[in-house]
Structure 1
Amino acid sequence: MKLTVLYRGPLSSCNYGCEYCPFGKWKHTDEELAKDRADLERFIAWVEARTQDTVSVFFTPWGEALIWPWYQQALARLTHLPHVERVAAQTNLSCRLDWVKDCRAEKLGIWATYHPEWTKRPRFLKQCETLVSLGVRHSVGVVGFLRFVEEAQTLRRELPAETYLWINAVKDGQEEPYTPEDVARFTQLDPLFPVNNVRHPSLGKACRGGESVISVDGEGTARRCHFIDEAIGNIYAPDFDQALRPRPCSKATCGCHIGYVHMDYLELDRVFGSGILERVPAEPLWRRGAVAAR
């Protein structure tokens, strides 16, 4: 089978301190970091053993993982497994990138978020240039606060034309709702912004979550996705594969890209193709702005 795993271990801290995000305000003890490392090692061993499958892994930590060497080593290790198709990670791209040379670059994907309050644009762009030079497919994004519009516009001008820039729509916590003019400005930067700027109806609709896409925590507990708390099993149980089956969504709406991108009726797998984990649309769809708000 083809299986995509969104791994989120107990790590829940960040080296940035964005005011809208709680994780930069948490610090782990040495014992907690050791637990995170041990959980990750156990998960990697599980992936290594699933040689009968084609596996992709997407690291979606509560915080920043790639500043820690065990995550860097995990990405490198996974990319060299013949049965692993794709390995991707969400990151603020603040880490050193020398470890990337240990990876099979053609299997590695990076979802990088630019935080203008916590890093300088030239440094972030330099990191992106390094990824390009190493042959790593990546996307770059900005949280869609109105105060970041001009910074996002400048970033778009300075990024290579072929680098997809996404805007994460702020659906809660915005001081004022987006005006039509705000939506137009963000859509000029990201043709897929209208797709992200809505909560998609999902109740009872078909989704690959729970069948070919699962969310896994540090204990091995598997869920359909990050947004449905109900467990479907534990990956370390010998009969776990029996838990993988189609399940209609039990939530009224789905408003996060890493959730709704797997919903069948939106057909976003056709938009993103093999870049679905690192949020890189298949060309030339995003350049033409071919996807309308649904």
Structure 2
Amino acid sequence: MSPEAPHSPLSILYRGRLSSCNYDCHYCPFGKQRDSRETLARDEADLQRLVDWAEQQQRPLQIMFTPWGEALIHLSYQRAIVRLCAMPQVHKVVIQTNLSSPARQLQALAHPKLALWCSYHPHEVSLERFVQRCHSLQAAGIRFSVGSVGNPEDIAALEALRRALPDSVYLWVNINRDEQHTLTPAHWQRLRTIDPLVDHNSKIYSSLGRPCHTGDSVISVDGDGNVTRCHFVKQSLGNLYDGSFQPSRQPCPNQGCDCHIGYVHMPELKLYEVFAGGVLERIPAGQ
């Protein structure tokens, strides 16, 4: 790493081997998969290695878990969160979750450093149960955002969720690229009422040759410790564990970027200002 690295924070987007989910959303391929015991054991060992590595670091760290499947139902991820939050060099821990874990397990994770990126799946869970989980997070003092895919047939469900949540909880909407062409002006008006920032997610941003914080202050790490600049650019930046990782400030090599966890790091979009203090957990400034 560069000499100044110990003084600047490093955000790690970690995606291990876990690819199974306890939900079965029709638009997502991962709910159709079940990881073997061997895969789960390997994922747990990889996770332990990451936490052990973080424990030895002096540089400030922010760690976000972005699993293909649902991770928070596994005790290994719950234990990892507790350990990471206890480390002084770890400033923030974020995980994407569908909130299907029992409320008592979620509340047991409460810590000022923890934040949740919560996804709502109206075909998999009742509105009442999901909102109850959100209330349990609030009661425990856990910071979180809530969001869902803005499929046309689910807009009414998202409107109901918006009414059921306090105004202080940000409700984001992800646009389903396969369905975007079916959204009418009336749909868009309703989506903007649910999420005033939804237009940020409606575009494919031209990113080729443009600067991006990924590769430098933000990196993607897999279960083996292999580092890439983000989940969407596969060129290797070395390995986190063997000392070969070197930050890169090269411009983006991809034609476009259409995922929040990617384009939010493009400085020209100024989304660090929009989400100041909550970039990883997708919480806008002031909420």
Identify which of 214, 218, 223 aligns with 1:213.
Answer: 218
Matches within 5 A, 1:1-294: 1-50=8-57, 52-103=58-109, 105-172=111-178, 174=179, 176-240=181-245, 243-283=246-286
- Mapped to 1, the partners of 2:244 and 2:225 lie a distance apart of 13
- Equivalenced residue count is 280
Q: Aligned with 1:141: secondary structure? A: strand
Name the amino acid aligned to 1:155. Answer: L
- Mapped to 2, the partners of 1:127 and 1:179 lie a distance apart of 32
Kindly state the Cα deviation for residue 184 of structure 1 after the two structures are TM-superposed: 1.4
Greater Cα offset, 102-111 or 256-265: 102-111
- Mapped to 1, the partners of 2:278 and 2:33 lie a distance apart of 31
Q: Aligned with 2:172: secondary structure? A: strand
Note the residue ranges of structure 1 that are not aligned, 5 or more in a row.
Answer: 285-294
Kindly state the Cα deviation for residue 104 of structure 1 after the two structures are TM-superposed: 5.3
Kindly state the Cα deviation for residue 181 of structure 1 after the two structures are TM-superposed: 2.0
Kindly state the Cα deviation for residue 177 of structure 1 after the two structures are TM-superposed: 2.7
In structure 2, do the counterparts of structure 1 residues 126 and 102 end up closer, same or farther at CA, with 3 Å as the change threshold?
closer
Kindly state the Cα deviation for residue 237 of structure 1 after the two structures are TM-superposed: 1.5
- Mapped to 2, the partners of 1:176 and 1:7 lie a distance apart of 32
Name the amino acid aligned to 1:168. Answer: N
Q: Aligned with 1:106: secondary structure? A: coil
Contact preservation (8 Å) 1:80, 1:104: no
Ranges of 4+ aligned residues in structure 1 off by more than 6 Å: none
Contact preservation (8 Å) 1:77, 1:103: no
- Mapped to 1, the partners of 2:201 and 2:91 lie a distance apart of 26
Name the amino acid aligned to 1:109. Answer: A
- Mapped to 1, the partners of 2:125 and 2:198 lie a distance apart of 24
Please, what TM-score do these two structures have when normalized by structure 1?
0.92
In structure 2, do the counterparts of structure 1 residues 221 and 178 end up closer, same or farther at CA, with 3 Å as the change threshold?
same
Please, what TM-score do these two structures have when normalized by structure 2?
0.95
Give the structure 1 partner of residue 3 of structure 2: none
Name the amino acid aligned to 1:112. Answer: C
- Mapped to 2, the partners of 1:272 and 1:118 lie a distance apart of 29
Superposition RMSD on alpha carbons, in Å? Answer: 1.3
Q: Aligned with 2:122: secondary structure? A: coil
Percent identity between the aligned chains?
45
Kindly state the Cα deviation for residue 100 of structure 1 after the two structures are TM-superposed: 4.2
Contact preservation (8 Å) 2:110, 2:140: no
Kindly state the Cα deviation for residue 101 of structure 1 after the two structures are TM-superposed: 4.7
Contact preservation (8 Å) 1:79, 1:107: yes
Note the residue ranges of structure 2 that are not aligned, 5 or more in a row.
Answer: 1-7
Deviations 1:26-58 (A, max 9, x none): 1111111100000000011111111x2110000
